[in-house]
A and B are shown apart, each in its own frame.
Chain A
Amino acid sequence: MLNIFGQLFNRPSAVFGIAVILLMLFAAAFAPWLMPHDPFEQSFDGLTLMGEPLPPGGEFPLGTDLLGRDLASRLILGTRTSLIIGVLANGIAVVMGAFVGVLAGYFGGWLGMVLMRFTDLMMAFPALLLAIVLAAIFKPSLLIVALVIAMVNWVQMARVVYTEARSLAEREFIQVQKAIGSSPFRILFRHLLPHLLSSIIVFGTLGISTTVLLEATLSFLGVGVQPPTPSWGNIIFENQTYFNTAPWLVFFPGVAILLLALAFNLVGDALRDILDPTLKGRH
């Protein structure tokens, strides 16, 4: 375990990724102390005399939004929502998808058929519609939004893992495990999963930006995070129509989402390489 961290810190790209993630965690944890202004206050100072939002600079480092609220403060507070959604919702989706995929792929038979037909069924529903229905049934809260997003996002992961697990299950070293008498549990976790890690990591990190944006869509439609609570996604959605006059309102939250996804991607890539012994000493 220590060894893995040691190797992570040997890779500049991974170090950058870890730094970004830590910074965001820090921002989320200490948001009340870090915010330069009250993120909910619609101040007159935040608007020009014409009632237009202020561009970045001066008292408001990243500018203000249409209601004169400080964008920097809203972004910092929004880190909480976005991290929870990006990490929690995506995490649940990844674990669930991988679990369903690996079970269906390894065991096949009727279990595999039932699981994969169910996955197909979920895929056939338009993701957004399903999310809206689910979110409308339950009372909107951050946790519910995370669960709803996980519910619609695990299917792709299940598909990818299923296909790969199926071909792996045919490989000789898995046959050998059966011949030795290893339990299915052991084969799944000691031999199949390590080989699936690279796809899980790549697909999982890609999912982060998708989930953050799906949260934004839901929030925009009024079934996600309820205003005035800020999240990166709903800041973009609220302000996209003013992109021409106030581009910073879309630019900064966009950069934040990009950084979050990139950071996880870099760490994920590095982890994948470190965990693959055949690549040792090649990076």
Chain B
Amino acid sequence: MTSPQVSDSSQVPDPGGSLLSVQDLHVQVATPTGAKTILDGLSFELGRRETLCLAGESGSGKSMTALAIMGLLPKPMARISRGSIQLGNLELTRLSESQYRKIRAARISMIFQEPMTSLNPISTVQKQLCETLLEHGQCSRQEAPDRALALLKDVRLTEPEQRLQQYPHELSGGMRQRVMIAMALACDPEILIADEPTTALDVTVQAEILELMRSLQKEHNTGLLMITHDMGVVAEMADRVLVMKEGQEVETAAVRQLFSKPVHPYSQALLKAVPRLGSSEPKEPLPTTLESVVQIKDLKVHFYIRGGVFNRPVARIHAVENVSLSIRAGSTLALVGESGCGKSTIGKAMMGLVPWSGKIQLNGDSIAGLSRPQMQRVLRNIQMIFQDPGASLDPRMKVGDQVGEPMVVHGIARGTELKDRVAYLFQRVGLSRDAIERYPHEFSGGQRQRICIARALSLSPKVIIADECVSALDVSIQAQVLELLKELQQEDDLAYLFISHDMAVIEQMADEVAVMRLGQIVEHGYRDAVLRDPRHSYTQRLLSAVPIPDPEVERAQPRRETSAEPESPIFKLHEQPTPLHLQEIAPGHLVAS
């Protein structure tokens, strides 16, 4: 399947017309207040070897469109009320469930966002691949394992023979998504629907998966319907883009046209809100006279993996290893790195949420070995905003009470004074007074994050740790929240430890950047030094993997990880990670040798 002839034939202009044609599609869901239309007259066509991206913010109906095409709408709540979906000459809306089963995987298949939950955790990769092949009569039982192996080779999985015998939890996120793609392509479908296929993955892995999908599409002549909220991914993958809002088509255009001349005001606003790496003004390095509010020296956080009969430690995770950092008053230090690199653990250590060793000074006070009551005093100066505002608010408590809670806990205010302060905090984060008496589920994601920010501000801290605080939000909301954080920083002279994986967001916020890998800092310096002149190979790889929201820019191929197995911060008890030594290559710019 990977023969050169096939990929050559991809140069031939498209012979066939449209593979999939959706006309005037309406989908309704039943709600207690009556039927609600969530897809409202959507029409589009998908051609052979074409990539159409459905782009839009959460709640725009992108995923519902995919489910409607796959015949997987949650019954009996949702139903197609009008319109047609045609696959070739076949009308899909009139198919019975058993007829649909013959189509799925064989003619249309789908990849989901979270590869861990879409794979069966209790059977091996081989078993799951063979099942798909046999179910659709692709080959005989004897041939199946060989076909499965060929599929894994097709999706460029390293050591495919070994992978066949492994279970999903033994694979990394990127490998799992490759297996998912292999399963989706097992029966050589005409159409592949990918619903946010790389959202759960790290940028370097995302770049590899996108590259893989592109080349497989060429080899197999597949029509690709890609659903994403990430305009960078759109720019990289799409031939045409359909921008959606509230179940309706806002604008359909060729990708270059959309990015250069968006017609509809909504697409203009959407594209304008996208953070672009390298778009911000150069920043002067911070004056060195500013005093540090946070000083971390040789911070180590180790977790033990226990096992065996006596539950004794068998291995150690070096989540954070010899990290030294300082944050100056009123400035932002951004910690960047891929999942599992220990960046969030540093924030948790500062809050006393995980056991650690080393030195942490806050406002001049050392917090090593403080008991809980002693820690209480420290916490007035340092607060944290978490990634998921929905999960970090107690669903059973009024938001006003939650914002006021830190003040009650620390005995700062009570009674009418408390009420006044809460009202003031709500006003500061741009929420109306009547929001105070409501519960978290009555707010949107962005509003909830504002509530969390108000709560973090309630103690007037000097330092706020923002742990991926905008990554769960839509881009337009994300821009507003970042703006709010900047305003508050200027007003209160706040120091931020801004933890994120998103380079473009970091560029907007940071004064200084520290890049982490496997628990250690590999590069640290002023924002422009690190982002514009990265010296460590890992920083360079990270930066080159970021999808650029501009189809005109051809991205340099990201370099593949040289070792097949990604390194891990897990060590045997008697082993230690090799410490990295940071060298100062320019004033304030430290790079691991």
Contacts and interface: CB of A to CB of B under 8 A. Distances in A.
Given A176-B386, A278-B439, A182 B391 contact: no
A180 B412 CA distance: 13
Given A176-B386, A282-B32, A182 B405 contact: yes
A124 to B, nearest CB: 21
B345 to A, nearest CB: 13
Interface string B43-73: 0000000000000000000000000000000
B396 A175 contact: no
Given A179-B383, A181-B409, A186-B409, A173 B391 contact: yes
B392 interface: yes
Contact of B396 (A178, A181, A195): A195
Given A173-B392, A277-B395, A277-B439, A180 B386 contact: no
Contact of B353 (A178, A186, A276, A282): A178
Q: Most B CB atoms within 10 A — which of A172, A177, A186, A280? A: A172
Given A175-B386, A181-B375, A278-B439, A194 B392 contact: no
A172 B391 contact: yes
A179 B410 CA distance: 12
B519 to A, nearest CB: 21
A180 B391 CA distance: 15
A197 to B, nearest CB: 9
A176 B392 contact: yes
A195 B395 CA distance: 9
B394 A173 contact: yes
A210 to B, nearest CB: 29
B353 A180 contact: no
Nearest to A282: B32
Contacts of B393: 173, 176
A199 to B, nearest CB: 14
Interface residues of B, number: 27
A94 B572 CA distance: 45
B375 A171 contact: no
A89 B401 CA distance: 36
Contacts of A166: none
A276 B383 CA distance: 28
A182 B409 contact: yes
Given A179-B353, A181-B375, A278-B439, A172 B396 contact: no
B379 interface: yes
Interface in A140-188: 171-173, 175-183, 186
Contacts of A190: 397
B441 interface: yes
A176 B448 CA distance: 14
A69 to B, nearest CB: 51
A179 B381 CA distance: 11
Interface in A235-278: 275-278
A172 B386 contact: yes
Contacts of B395: 173, 277-278
A176 B439 contact: no
Contacts of A173: 391-395
B406 A181 contact: yes
A179 to B, nearest CB: 5
Contact of A278 (B375, B379, B441): B441
B86 to A, nearest CB: 38
A37 interface: no
Interface in B380-424: 380, 383-384, 386, 388, 391-398, 405-406, 409-410
Given A173-B391, A173-B393, A175-B386, A183 B441 contact: no
B384 A176 contact: yes
A194 B396 CA distance: 7
A179 B391 CA distance: 14
A278 B398 CA distance: 11
A177 B372 CA distance: 13
B376 A181 contact: yes
Contacts of B391: 171-173
Contacts of A280: 439
B239 to A, nearest CB: 40
Most buried by B among A172, A179, A275, A278: A179
Contacts of A277: 395-396, 398, 439, 441
B379 A180 contact: yes
Contact of A180 (B32, B396, B397, B409): B409
Contact of B409 (A171, A183, A195): A183
Contacts of A276: 396
Nearest to B410: A181
B351 interface: yes
B445 to A, nearest CB: 14
Nearest to A183: B409
Given A180-B379, A191-B397, A278-B439, A172 B351 contact: no
Contacts of A171: 391
Contacts of A194: 394, 396-397
A178 B376 CA distance: 10
A191 B394 contact: yes
Contacts of B353: 175, 178-179
Contacts of A282: 32
Contacts of A275: 396
A13 B395 CA distance: 26
Contacts of B351: 178-179
17 contacts: A172-B392, A173-B392, A173-B394, A178-B352, A178-B353, A179-B384, A180-B379, A180-B406, A180-B455, A181-B380, A182-B405, A190-B397, A277-B395, A277-B398, A277-B441, A278-B395, A280-B439
5 residue pairs, one from A and one from B, having the closest CB atoms: A172-B391, A181-B379, A277-B439, A172-B392, A194-B396
